[in-house]
Structure 1
């Protein structure tokens, strides 16, 4: 999906509502929200499970000065020339990410912290768009830069991924220079910002020089640290190759070997833990999405629809969906939609209207409304301390609780298809039936409405199906009843089917607030797998 948004220079404007701030594009909200409004089929899917097939433009709420709140933008390097002063480079949105990426390369490591001096205009590419290892994650970036999408990732050869990434970064920045945005936010385990010119919009705030920059003075201390590090594999690396992330300096030196950064072997795990912090609401909060600027590859692109139908993946996990095979016409359609949204944002000077409907708050309300009852249904259907009749009675009650606002008993005596279809319609449109002003109903907002109604239609259809089946069983009204073996057998035959329906619904939704271990780990850390 493509979004218009902004990266905050600090605290948000007090005149804007919290909902609007997140609707425009909070980085933290990205993992929790932006990756979740994928199309008319889902509201909140785990964005890591979806391919990088959505894009989003970002802009931060106005703030007149640098603010410590955005001091999470860090640049790590093992280049002894110091921090970049101009041109494109990457920033991590947390220290753990910056440290992890460079610590495993060995040698000296320095961390530089930057603060935004003004609102930053940023494009957000949704999905695992910073992951290099799996075909598909870079697909939308190929489309943006008007490059042919490969079926498989090209084999760059040893050490060449950074060179390819540098070329991709320059292409994205050229596109941004043409269309008015200044950087690109992408997601792997955490979020990163490709900032196209370090001479503009940001300033160096602090720096942390790893003790390894003074190896003689600190070597005894580092030796003691690494001797007690259970993750430590080796202390010295004589094959260190210094480089920046854009490959500006790849020269090997003849200097004596230097120790690896302290606790470097723990860096990947710490990076994963930092990503876990952003996986749930409110997420990475400095970035604010503009819902008026969403562009999606699930939005009426016939070549991709036909491809998924042919592959039989239309109803399957979206992690299997690729942009490979998109037609030239559909590519031009997406590019035109993106250009139109960018032109509008530039004409508005990337201002954001705080009076517009808070779509993010609406989405979170829906998730809050339905997530726990769905889990409770799953729990009841998995219980072994109840017989099948008791389980069916509980399912009937829980389903009614969910459907009650849309279940109109005036239609109860209508033929089944009529009262079911009317109930599903009311349930699916319960949050979107209020009229909107024409100025608030552009193509992007229609896309969001379609996503909400499509998701609710799937939920409501599933729950109405369970409810109607329990009604047909003629179950007792009260849980205390005389045991009926015929009824027990009928209910027992239905339980696996109902369990499958709820399991399928949960898998299809993939809501992030369900992403935890069962049973939970001692430290209760739920995170995504590391993907290179």
Structure 2
């Protein structure tokens, strides 16, 4: 089964159930907010949904090692500058693509440092990927923001300066972003939060000598010790990274030559491959050394931003572009919320919202894929009685913790899940509220938050997360509840074909609504000299420039992970 194709075509599937949702799903941003929540600091979800809509304050943990490669020996580097969490990233950026000596600077944080995290592929140069940053820097939408500000995809130092100016006034020391790895823009290298560890000349033997002109963004040239006249700079950005192969899944040769055709030293040939290896470490786990305050998560997916609804309607998340659609008024509201969040510094309930979201994905994801795979494989020769039995068992499994079958053994499938009320006994002798299995399933992650003391502590941002999580669970519990009810109550074999077709449509619609990156995988088992990797900017991104697959390559099979070799021989 090709999950990406299922997701892509699902928006054309009519929802077949008639159950009443507490939340309106037709214009719901709940699955988008949920996706943003569970994807925080995880590589593949942010690669799959590169146009991040979310900013989260947090801290960079003390004693974290950080790396910065450069072409001169300035100590400390000019502020702001980049620090990588992985030395492979710093090495590849400088030693493998720019002639002349390379110096590796290593730093360690001395105390918790306040950071702002921009979700999505926010360190890559492309329309959509940078949208949330532009709203912060310009304070307005694209119509007025690009007219009143010098905005360029190339100008990463300009973005760094603008983001640091906003953040430093509010006590932030760095900006965390992601492309083929996670990085932090460190705003002030004189800060006592950062301790210099060492500087080493790591220039690999055979590196070409520095020459005066090479195609690289002008601001970056200035910060690397090189100079060039404006007339010598190319009129368009270089192709996205070293991989210029436009074949599906192709990434070109990220080794022997640099991204713009420069010959690299023999020992540097594998620099970008090692960066790709580092990027896969956190494909499905969170980047360590950062703690995010999800109770302060601010997102453009908040349902109040009506100017963005047309940009989302009927589109995949890859196609959700903020800056060109958002109104100046909505940007103002967003920035006011962000400012109030970081200044008020409310503690919230203490609930780990991302952990709860990850639990939901881990519990449901493979069950949904297995159900869809079963229904996708039904054909004219299938034994439909066996299929119905399999659907009953697969739908019962995630729901069984909530169903009081022992209280009504003869109840219909519909009644036992949607109608029968039970009052479970609690340890203190009290009785829990009289609820249905459907309600217990829907509120399984959040029922404790009805406590008045927790309600009083809940931040406005947590209330948005609460709505999102309960809406997602409501949809999951409804769809699987209907499959359980219908497969349990089905007695007329003549109707099995209609039921199976409806179930397949239901699962297809559910997967399209959720758009979880957890269904991405390499179809084959990768060899030990390979890694399973999505196309990653700037290492192996061959999908066109500028923009995202949603704009330049609507076929999102382009993002399908493949096994990629790590050797050069």
Q: What range is the shorter-chain TM-score in?
A: 0.7 to 0.9
For 1:107, what is the secondary structure of its paired residue? Answer: coil
* Corresponding residue for residue 459 of structure 1: 476
Q: Residues 111 and 209 of structure 1 are in contact (CA less than 8 Å); yes or no, is this contact kept in structure 2? A: yes
Does residue 287 (structure 1) correspond to residue 301 (structure 2)? The answer is no
* Corresponding residue for residue 144 of structure 1: 136
* Corresponding residue for residue 23 of structure 1: none
Q: Structure 1 37/466 Cα, relative in aligned 2: closer, same or farther at 3 Å?
A: closer
Q: Structure 1 264/461 Cα, relative in aligned 2: closer, same or farther at 3 Å?
A: farther
* Corresponding residue for residue 507 of structure 2: 502
* Corresponding residue for residue 307 of structure 1: 310
Q: Residues 69 and 105 of structure 2 are in contact (CA less than 8 Å); yes or no, is this contact kept in structure 1? A: yes
Cα distance between partner residues in 1 of 2:81 and 2:201: 19
* Corresponding residue for residue 533 of structure 2: 527
Q: Identify which of 81, 88, 91 aligns with 2:80.
A: 88
Q: Identify which of 357, 362, 368 aligns with 1:368.
A: 362
Measured on the aligned residues, the alpha-carbon RMSD in Å equals 3.5
For 1:75, what is the secondary structure of its paired residue? Answer: strand
* 1:211 to partner: Cα distance: 3.4
For 1:360, what is the secondary structure of its paired residue? Answer: helix
Q: Residues 37 and 353 of structure 2 are in contact (CA less than 8 Å); yes or no, is this contact kept in structure 1? A: no
Cα distance between partner residues in 2 of 1:492 and 1:326: 46
> Once the two structures are superposed, what CA deviation does each residue of 1:403-459 show, in whole Å capped at 9, x if it has no partner?
223345679569879639955443221111112424431112112212211221222
Q: Identify which of 183, 202, 209 aligns with 2:201.
A: 209
Does residue 318 (structure 1) correspond to residue 317 (structure 2)? The answer is yes
Matches within 5 A, 1:68-467: 70-71=64-65, 73-78=66-71, 80-102=72-94, 103-133=96-126, 135-150=127-142, 162=154, 164-200=155-191, 201-212=193-204, 218-219=205-206, 241=214, 245=220, 247-248=222-223, 249-251=225-227, 260-281=264-285, 283-308=286-311, 312-313=313-314, 316-323=315-322, 324-345=324-345, 356-382=350-376, 387-407=383-403, 412=411, 419=419, 423-434=437-448, 435-436=450-451, 437-467=454-484
> Once the two structures are superposed, what CA deviation does each residue of 1:296-337 show, in whole Å capped at 9, x if it has no partner?
1111233335324xx633xx4212111122122211111111
Q: Residues 413 and 484 of structure 2 are in contact (CA less than 8 Å); yes or no, is this contact kept in structure 1? A: no
Q: Residues 413 and 489 of structure 2 are in contact (CA less than 8 Å); yes or no, is this contact kept in structure 1? A: no
> Once the two structures are superposed, what CA deviation does each residue of 1:268-312 show, in whole Å capped at 9, x if it has no partner?
33222211111122x21100001221111111233335324xx63
* 1:147 to partner: Cα distance: 4.5
Cα distance between partner residues in 2 of 1:41 and 1:425: 23
Q: Residues 52 and 126 of structure 1 are in contact (CA less than 8 Å); yes or no, is this contact kept in structure 2? A: yes
> Once the two structures are superposed, what CA deviation does each residue of 1:463-512 show, in whole Å capped at 9, x if it has no partner?
1232233234327xxxxxxxxxxx2x643444454334334434543445
Q: Residues 479 and 506 of structure 2 are in contact (CA less than 8 Å); yes or no, is this contact kept in structure 1? A: yes
Cα distance between partner residues in 2 of 1:41 and 1:274: 24
For 2:472, what is the secondary structure of its paired residue? Answer: helix
Q: Residues 413 and 488 of structure 2 are in contact (CA less than 8 Å); yes or no, is this contact kept in structure 1? A: no
Q: Residues 40 and 447 of structure 1 are in contact (CA less than 8 Å); yes or no, is this contact kept in structure 2? A: no
Does residue 514 (structure 1) correspond to residue 533 (structure 2)? The answer is no
* Corresponding residue for residue 13 of structure 1: none
Q: Residues 413 and 486 of structure 2 are in contact (CA less than 8 Å); yes or no, is this contact kept in structure 1? A: no
For 2:295, what is the secondary structure of its paired residue? Answer: strand
Q: Structure 1 38/306 Cα, relative in aligned 2: closer, same or farther at 3 Å?
A: closer
For 1:179, what is the secondary structure of its paired residue? Answer: coil
Q: Residues 105 and 240 of structure 1 are in contact (CA less than 8 Å); yes or no, is this contact kept in structure 2? A: no
For 2:531, what is the secondary structure of its paired residue? Answer: coil
Aligned length: 436
For 1:426, what is the secondary structure of its paired residue? Answer: helix
Cα distance between partner residues in 2 of 1:208 and 1:58: 31
* 1:137 to partner: Cα distance: 1.0
Q: Structure 1 302/82 Cα, relative in aligned 2: closer, same or farther at 3 Å?
A: closer
Higher mean C-alpha displacement, 113-122 vs 498-507:
498-507
For 2:105, what is the secondary structure of its paired residue? Answer: strand
Cα distance between partner residues in 1 of 2:310 and 2:343: 31
Cα distance between partner residues in 1 of 2:502 and 2:266: 54
Q: Residues 58 and 292 of structure 2 are in contact (CA less than 8 Å); yes or no, is this contact kept in structure 1? A: yes
Q: Residues 117 and 202 of structure 1 are in contact (CA less than 8 Å); yes or no, is this contact kept in structure 2? A: yes
For 1:39, what is the secondary structure of its paired residue? Answer: helix
For 1:132, what is the secondary structure of its paired residue? Answer: coil
For 1:211, what is the secondary structure of its paired residue? Answer: coil
* Corresponding residue for residue 559 of structure 2: none
* 1:44 to partner: Cα distance: 3.3
Q: Residues 92 and 98 of structure 1 are in contact (CA less than 8 Å); yes or no, is this contact kept in structure 2? A: yes
* 1:204 to partner: Cα distance: 1.8
Q: Residues 38 and 355 of structure 2 are in contact (CA less than 8 Å); yes or no, is this contact kept in structure 1? A: no
Higher mean C-alpha displacement, 287-296 vs 107-116:
107-116
Q: Structure 1 298/246 Cα, relative in aligned 2: closer, same or farther at 3 Å?
A: farther
Does residue 44 (structure 1) correspond to residue 38 (structure 2)? The answer is yes
Q: Structure 1 284/330 Cα, relative in aligned 2: closer, same or farther at 3 Å?
A: same
Normalised TM-score (structure 1): 0.72
* 1:373 to partner: Cα distance: 2.3
Cα distance between partner residues in 1 of 2:172 and 2:362: 34
Q: Provide structure 2 residue ranges, at least 5 long, that are not aligned to the other structure.
A: 1-29, 40-44, 147-151, 230-261, 421-434, 539-569
Q: Structure 1 496/207 Cα, relative in aligned 2: closer, same or farther at 3 Å?
A: farther
Q: Identify which of 464, 478, 496 aligns with 1:491.
A: 496
Cα distance between partner residues in 2 of 1:414 and 1:383: 25
Cα distance between partner residues in 2 of 1:304 and 1:289: 28
Q: Structure 1 266/507 Cα, relative in aligned 2: closer, same or farther at 3 Å?
A: farther
